[in-house]
Structure formats: structure tokens, C-alpha cells
Amino acid sequence: MCIRVQFVPRDEIHEVWDRARNVITIPDSLSATTRFTLKAVRAVLEEMGVEQSEFGARCWCGEYMHIPAAIRQQQLNEVIHLGA
């Protein structure tokens, strides 16, 4: 099962890495640009022991992950709703 990324408000984050759901949670303040998001996602992945290449973010299966960026508030709420 591949790793997914979701954004939530910083004060609602309990765990950055949800092992059961394979979800990395990033503060929504970092969703503004792909660069910020990527940096945060890579940091979490590296902490999990998933080796990262020079660009992008790699899932533990070796595939490059789709990094959602610059999402609108409405979409953000949707992600939270679906993730709950």
C-alpha cells in the first residue's frame, strides 16, 4: 500500500506518520508550494528510513509520490473529511 499525504491544521496533528493508514500528515501551512510540501514529506520519509533521491519524494516501494500542492481550502476540508 502506497504512502499518501494529507494536510491538516498544525494543532490538529497528533502523529506525522500514521502507520495503520500509510498517511503522512503535513501542516496545511506547508501546502502553499510544492517545494515546502516536498521538503516536509521527504523529512518524514527519511525519518522512516525510506531513502530519498535528489528530486521528488519516493514511496518505500520505489515509486515517486504524487505531492499535492497549493490546494484550496475547500479541497482541504474534503481531504480532512475523507481522512476522518
The amino acid occupying position 1 is M
Q: How far is the CB of 35 from Zn ion (least distance, A)?
A: 22
- How many Cβ atoms from other residues are within 10 Å of residue 61's Cβ? 10
Mark residues 48-77: x for contact with Zn ion by CB under 5 A, - for none.
-----------x-x-x--------------
Handedness of CA 69, 72, 77, 79 (dihedral sign): negative
Size of the site for Zn ion (CB under 5 A): 4
Nearer to Zn ion, 12 or 63 (CB): 63
Query: What are the helix (H) ranges across 1-84?
Result: 34-47, 73-83
Instruction: Point out which residues bind Zn ion (CB under 5 A).
Output: 2, 59, 61, 63
